[in-house]
Structure 1
């Protein structure tokens, strides 16, 4: 399997020399880092990373996220998580904006656990939020303040950093269309959140020796101590999709990533995803994609 890009790899390979040294000199590599996009090279290959990233992108280019390819033609705020592969190829000569990188260690140490379950970091949504001039100005200011605070000697600077991150998160939520914004968290929303947490914790997979264990709606319902029918009703009301559809979509996403970017053979992928027999995996894959795993593997350049 192609190794994930680590946060250290990112600093070494992407940043220009002056910015690179500033970042690597920091004693806490897992801490939050903020730097201008002008300080990094404009190409990122398609792969997973081991860190979260929020990018304010001003400049045009091509963005690929999982199986979606999008041409960015106006300023946007993008959210990336460690579970999904992505790439970026700059097109315009002028590229500006900001990058903010952080790891699970930072989230846990600063009690920002809900970020992982926020709509902004969910794997099923395209994490692109187009900005008008006022939104761009506000977010640029917040990134600048983050940058100042990262380099400060203030004893409680991590509290301040957390506050600025929350503000960026909320500014992004404001950008979302009203139709996808959620009201206050209720019991159904909490069940849906826990379902997503259980589903995502299983990925990515690396080896058939450590296969996925939760595969059916009944598996998830048992973990959540609720009836399968209730789980289906809740997910349908919150997401518009059944539990079966959500599970299948995530498994297909992972299967395609493994077929394209791992050294596992098709049988090993089947076992890693919890299928008892490769033939069952082949049938499942073809039913949901219209093609076979072998054809996907054979099409790799």
Structure 2
């Protein structure tokens, strides 16, 4: 039995790859037994990924939650998230993989709102359901055709970049209708400040008052912002953030729950076990055993 959930690095078979790749779901399914890790088993991504399902029905695991997928379902995952496919013979579609460096290199060509929507794992659902009228698939197919063309590689990088930007613009338009509250920019900006503070300080404090003070706002105001943006209280958001970090650490290291408790800022291991069980119904050890 594997002791840890695998950490999958970006590894393109194409020479001199700049950090982006596209493949079909069927090609991954056909060679699932030939690669180092079975993609149907939970694994952590060291890159960003977009999956566009074009046919069939199944489920897709994102950060320990199975999501129903069907024709025109789009799944987007950020670096560090937990991923797993559930293949069947009818399932078809495309998978776009790109590194953090590639994203940063082309960040100025991408819609700002889309970066917030797609690459904010704690903020939005990883699912977009495109309508039958959407033409985003046309550009993904063009990208796949261009990427697969090994005979005409002159200026391909510029073509990739152009299609990448178009695909993201199309996704931004699709996601906009599912995240209308993003237009409330003042509250969104404050929420993103809160999230940034939480990422840096969650080991130090899991108290909502701490973050409200850091933001120079009241606890009540922070709660209002969180309820408006993500439909939970500030404390609920903090707890969900900490639990997700704990799950990822549990499945990606040899660390024992006792050591993990201290590394997450709990004064006593028993407090962490109670906290984890309260929010997941599992003890840390039983959760790790169940998933691996």
Q: CA shift at 1:291, angstroms? A: 4.3
Q: CA shift at 1:173, angstroms? A: 1.0
Q: Distance in 2 between matches of 1:217 and 1:161?
A: 42
The match for 1:166 among 152, 168, 184 is: 168
Task: Give 1:268's aligned residue.
Answer: 259
* Residues 139 and 168, structure 1, Cα contact 8 Å, conserved in 2: yes
3-state SS, counterpart of residue 48 of structure 1: strand
Structure with bigger RCO (C-alpha 8 Å, 6+ apart): 2
Superposed counterparts of 1:84-163, under 5 Å: 84-91=81-88, 93-111=89-107, 112=110, 115-118=114-117, 121-123=120-122, 125-135=124-134, 138-147=135-144, 153=155, 156-157=158-159, 160-163=162-165
CA change 1:83–1:118 in 2 (3 A) is: same
Q: Distance in 1 between matches of 2:188 and 2:52?
A: 29
RMSD between aligned alpha carbons?
A: 3.1
Task: Give 1:286's aligned residue.
Answer: 277
Question: Which whole-Å deviations, capped at 9, do the CAs of 1:219-250 have from their partners, x for residues lacking one?
Answer: 43355454444322221222221111001012
Q: Distance in 1 between matches of 2:291 and 2:185?
A: 45
Q: Distance in 1 between matches of 2:57 and 2:20?
A: 26
When the two structures are aligned, how many residues end up with a matched partner?
Answer: 272
Q: CA shift at 1:198, angstroms? A: 4.0
The match for 1:34 among 15, 22, 36 is: 22
Question: Which whole-Å deviations, capped at 9, do the CAs of 1:232-275 have from their partners, x for residues lacking one?
Answer: 22212222211110010121223233344532111111112121
Q: CA shift at 1:96, angstroms? A: 2.9
Q: CA shift at 1:278, angstroms? A: 0.9
Task: Give 1:190's aligned residue.
Answer: 189
Task: Give 2:74's aligned residue.
Answer: 77
Question: Which whole-Å deviations, capped at 9, do the CAs of 1:31-68 have from their partners, x for residues lacking one?
Answer: 22223334333651211111111111123333222232
Q: Distance in 1 between matches of 2:182 and 2:248?
A: 34
| Gaps in structure 1 of 5+ consecutive residues | 12-19, 203-210
* Residues 75 and 131, structure 1, Cα contact 8 Å, conserved in 2: yes
| Gaps in structure 2 of 5+ consecutive residues | 33-38, 148-152
CA change 1:116–1:171 in 2 (3 A) is: closer
* Residues 117 and 196, structure 1, Cα contact 8 Å, conserved in 2: no
3-state SS, counterpart of residue 133 of structure 1: coil
TM-score, normalization by structure 2: 0.78
